[in-house]
Amino acid sequence: MTMMAVLTEARAADRAAAVRSRITRVEVIHDVNIAEPIWRALEQTGQYASPYQRFDFLSAWQRHVGNAERVEPYIVVARDADDQPLLVMPLGVERKFGVGVASFLGGKHSTFNMPLWHRDFAITADAGDLDALLAALRAAGGADVLALLQQPLYWDGLPNPLAQWPHQPSVNDCPVLTMPEGAVAADLISNSFRRRLKGKERKLQELPGYHYAQARTQADIDRVLDAFFRIKPQRMAAQKLPNVFAEPGVADFIRQACATELAGGGRAIEIHALECDAEMIAMYAGVADGRRFSMMFNTYTLSDAARYSPGLILMRHIVDHYASRGYRGIDLGIGSDDYKKMFCKELDPIFDSYVALSPRGRLAAGALAAIGRGKHAVKHNPAMMHLVRRLRGALRR
C-alpha cells in the first residue's frame, strides 16, 4: 500500500470516529495564560484530574523550567456540542530525533500525568471519543508523536480513559499506602514498626525546640527550602547522582509552587518537616488534593541526628497527619526504594503511550516505545540493573 493510500485510509477512519464522538471541537492553545480560564474552571469544579496537572503547578513549571528547556505549550482543549470543555490535556512540544514530540508538561517533576477531564465524560469516554481526539490532533499539526509517560491506570477510583490507547508498562510502578475510609492512623503502620520509630524519636526529642510541622508561612517555607537546597546536592553527590535541582529554573519553580496558595486552601506544593532550634532535620514535599498526598522530593540532615532515621519518623507523622484528615492514600513517588516499601504495601500500575500523529512520527513512536521497553526490562532484571549501576559508578569517577 502506498503512503498516499495509507493517509487516505487513516483520514477516512478519523472522519468516521468524529461522527461517533461527543467531541465536536478540539483546539490547541500555545500559551498557558490564554488557557488559564478554561483550565481553572475544569480543575475547580471537582472534576477528574491529579494535582500534578493543576494550573498553579504546571504554569510555574513552564515559566521557569519549560521555557528554559524550549518546551512549547501545546494545551489541548476538547469540547462538546454545547461548547463545554470535556477535557484539557496540558502538553508541551519538544524537537527530538528531528520530530515534534508532545508530552505532558511538568517533565521529571510530575509523578503522575493525565488530562483534566469532565468527570462524567471520563466515566463514559469510549474508543470513538478517543479516536476523534486523535483525528483532531492529527489535523491540527504541530506535533508528530504523543509520548505520554507515567500515566496512572486508575485514579481516584476510576479507570484512566487514555488506557484505551495502545500502551505499555512504565519503567516503574508506584508504591502506595491505601487508607480505607474510616481507618485510624494506628491501623496503617504496624505496632512494632511504630514502636521502633517512637524509640528513635525519643533521641531527637532531646534536641532543643524539636517538633514536627507543616510549613504554612512564607518564612517557614523559605527556611526549609534553604536547608533543602543546601543539603540535597551533598546527598546526591555522595550517591554519585546528578543534581537535577541545579538544572535551569528548577529551584525557582519549586520556590514559586511552594509559595502559591490554592483557592481551596493549601499550597501547590506542600512541605512537612522535622526541625529543632539548630537545624532542619528532615523534610518531605509533595502535592495533595484532599484525597491523596503524593511525595515529590525529600532530604534529611547531615548532622548526627541522621542516625535516628529522621526520614522514617517524618513519614510516620505524615501518615498520621493525612489519616486524621480522611485522606484515602499516600504515595512516595514512582520507584522501588526500600524505604517506600516500609509504608506502601501496594503498587499502582503506571503506563506509557506512544502514538503517532503524522507519517514522520510513526518511526519515532516505535523507537521511543522500544527504548521504554528496554528500560523496563533492565529495571526488572536484578543482574542487568547491578551491571548498569556499576557502569554508572565507573563513568562518574
pLDDT per residue as tens digits for the range 154-190 = 999 899 999 999 999 999 899 999 999 888 888 899 9
The Cβ-side half-sphere exposure at 186, using a 13 Å CA radius, reads: 2
- Asked whether residue 375 falls in the same domain as residue 282, the answer is no
Rounded to the nearest 5°, which phi and psi values hold at 68? -65, -30
Asked if residue 70 lies in contact with residue 100, where contact means CB atoms within 8 angstroms, the answer is: no
C-alpha to C-alpha distance for 192 and 200, rounded to whole angstroms: 13
Domain that holds residue 144: 3-171+350-395
- Asked whether residue 64 falls in the same domain as residue 149, the answer is yes
Q: Which amino acid is at 218?
A: Q
Indicate left, alpha or beta for 284 from its phi (over 0: left) and psi (-120 to 50: alpha). beta
Taking the CA atoms of the chain, what radius of gyration do you get in angstroms?
A: 22
Q: Is 90 exceeded by the pLDDT of residue 25? A: yes
* Mean pLDDT within 32-37: 97
Cβ contacts of residue 20 below 8 Å, gap of 6+? 128, 129, 131, 132
- Asked whether residue 118 falls in the same domain as residue 259, the answer is no
Nearest Cα residue to 50 out of 184, 174, 185: 174
Read off the pLDDT band of 20 (50, 70, 90): low
Q: Is 80 exceeded by the pLDDT of residue 379? A: no
Q: CATH code at 113?
A: 3.40.630.30
Q: What is the b/e burial string over 161-190, where b = at least 16 CB atoms within 10 angstroms of the residue's CB?
A: bbbebebeebbbbbbbbebeeeeebeebbe
pTM comes to 0.90
- Asked whether residue 83 falls in the same domain as residue 112, the answer is yes
- Asked whether residue 31 falls in the same domain as residue 109, the answer is yes
- Asked whether residue 157 falls in the same domain as residue 262, the answer is no
258, with CB counted inside 10 A (0-12, 13-18, 19+), is buried
- Asked whether residue 107 falls in the same domain as residue 234, the answer is no
Cell of residue 45, nine digits: 469544579
Read off the pLDDT band of 377 (50, 70, 90): confident
For residues 85, 89, 95 and 101, what is the CA-based torsion angle, rounded to 10 degrees?
Answer: -110
Read off the pLDDT band of 6 (50, 70, 90): very low
Q: What is the pLDDT of residues 133-155, one digit of tens each?
A: 999 999 999 999 999 999 999 99
pLDDT of residue 395: 47
pLDDT of residue 44: 84
Q: Which amino acid is at 155?
A: W
- Asked whether residue 61 falls in the same domain as residue 151, the answer is yes
pLDDT of residue 11: 47
pLDDT of residue 140: 94
- From 347, 363, 381, the end of a domain falls on 347
- Asked whether residue 17 falls in the same domain as residue 105, the answer is yes
- Asked whether residue 180 falls in the same domain as residue 167, the answer is no
Q: What is the pLDDT of residues 333-348, one digit of tens each?
A: 988 788 888 999 899 9
pLDDT of residue 385: 46
- Asked whether residue 25 falls in the same domain as residue 102, the answer is yes
Work out the mean pLDDT of the chain and round it to a whole number.
90
Q: What is the pLDDT of residues 250-280, one digit of tens each?
A: 999 999 999 999 988 899 999 999 999 999 9
Q: Which residue has the cell 528532615?
A: 282
Q: How many domains does the chain have?
A: 2
**Edge-to-edge strand order for the sheet containing 174-178?**
211-214, 270-275, 280-288, 292-300, 329-331, 174-178, 346-348
* Mean pLDDT within 362-382: 80
Asked if residue 76 lies in contact with residue 88, where contact means CB atoms within 8 angstroms, the answer is: yes
- Asked whether residue 288 falls in the same domain as residue 358, the answer is no
Asked if residue 77 lies in contact with residue 26, where contact means CB atoms within 8 angstroms, the answer is: yes
C-alpha to C-alpha distance for 1 and 4, rounded to whole angstroms: 8
